Structure 1
Amino acid sequence: MQDPEGNPACFSPHDRLTDDPAAATKSGQSVVMSVYQTKITGQCRSVTVTWCKSLLVHGLSISVQGSDNQSSCKVELKPWSFWRKQGSKRFYIDGKPVDVFWDLKAVKFGREPEPQSDYYVAVVCEEEVVLLLGDLKKEAYRKTGSRPALIDASLVLRKEHIFGKKRFSTRAKFHEKGKNHGILIECSNNNTKRSNCGSSNSWESIEPEMVIRIDGHLAIHVKHLQWKFRGNESISIDKFRVEVYWDVHDWLFIPGLQHALFVFKPMSSSPSLPLSSSSLSSSMTPDTLSSSQTACSSLIDANSVGGPQGFCLYLYAWMLE
């Protein structure tokens, strides 16, 4: 999981944020990318919404998948700039106009790149709001002069970059009708401590371990992390089974700023699994983890006609020194 790109900016030179983990800067820039499926110009297409946050700038990028390429819109919010906090932009998909409207004049942000309240971002095509984000929905319909789409957009993929020393936290919704859940990942590094027995000069090694908590409840506890740095385990959230994959190899074995990858994949079945620690189901090889990423990526095929088949959450956790 090397970062060959160095310190890329919030947006790439093509006004589009790459979905590679290298998109997060060494300085601790926060990035959240969400991919939705919705119907645009008669086809099921993917709309990618990216929020990023640096020291002075909040950035918003929206791209829509077309037949030949992606058309995108970029908005930057700076403390000393106000005129870009409300506006619209038009581009064309397969010859038909697509408009992006936004109102961020009174937007409220927390620590995350995404806004908390008092805003809207709307994507409009053929007089339908095909994607609407934010809580100012009435204002959005009034401003755009458009009606709601017959089919709601579905969130199929989310990628988030989070930073910390030993604790990494975020919030996520695993089902459309579910609630937001708090996710906390804690990892202990290789360390030593003085032994309580034997010579006073005796020292013993503390093996690294990792825990994942959902809403404060222990969901996964991995001991001997140096041997189980890749793995997967099933947990229960909202009475649905969620498969959790992790790869923390670079945290343990590569010096400097490195990231680990966590994948949360809700499954269609809903067995009654308790929300508590359970034994490690299996160790994953790099090929297994790679195949799981490929499966999640296939969910956002812009040309698929069957609609969204699920949701995948990717967390890139960057460990600061």
Structure 2
Amino acid sequence: MVEFTRFTDAGRLIFAIPGNHDYARPNGIWQRLSSSKVHVFMDTSWDTVLLEDMGVAVCGTAFERGGSGRRAFDGFHTPDLPCIALVHASLEHFQGQMNGYHPFSAGDLEAAGVNYAALGHYHSCQPIETGSALYAGCYPGTPEGISFDSPELGDRFAIYGEVEDDGSVTTLPLKTNTRTMLSADIDCTSFDTQGSLFDAVRKYCQANNLVHLKLSGMPAEDVASVLEELSERFKESCHYISIDTSGILASSDIAEGDLTIRGRFSRHMKKTIEEAADPEAKRLLARALELGIAAFREE
């Protein structure tokens, strides 16, 4: 409510809709919101507010928890003014996803005559292409990342838009996040020195980053010896860091009685290392064992 007040105090109108996480219910967050300056569309049927002095209509519908299979624009009636629609709904086949939360297609959006659809549900910023300059929509996504899942990573946005007199729409994404969620996989097999590992981790570490790294592969013994201290080493370099080492493989993980080609290779190399007299030869053979085991793992 404090954030809403910042806008209303500046003379801005606010329209909002309940979604699938904050759906309309007795004593819910939207029922507790008491402000004549904020219009919340509480009905699961489409409703319209005419702003005739601005030459635009704002339409909205609340997420229907028990009937989310209803298509998003069913029952929508196009107003006479250019229309901005607020709806919590899932674009069909969005980034390969099939989701039944009030589904719709780009064709549905265009057929409804909605000049701009302010969309909620998916958490990454994504414009909707309809093929027409008069009809558009966008998922702005979350204003701050909330997990290390792919849709939450990277920069976050709000959408600044303008509806022209002819109904055409222009939009501009505005960066909103103060923190950045980053997640990456790092294969440690090729790291021969601790410094090369540190360099790979360091490139993700900045003051406002929240970082999750998953390490994999079969690093050199010298590199493996510092894996568990990475979080402590880099904790002051970023806002938060977590490091998952469960994907790291060591030659000792292979059972002595392993009858696979990998197991036979491991036993042969260990015997060769044991018989080698030169320390440098032992080191190179040990690294060859590590790289070989890592190659088997990739297969």
Q: What's the TM-score, normalizing by structure 2?
A: 0.27
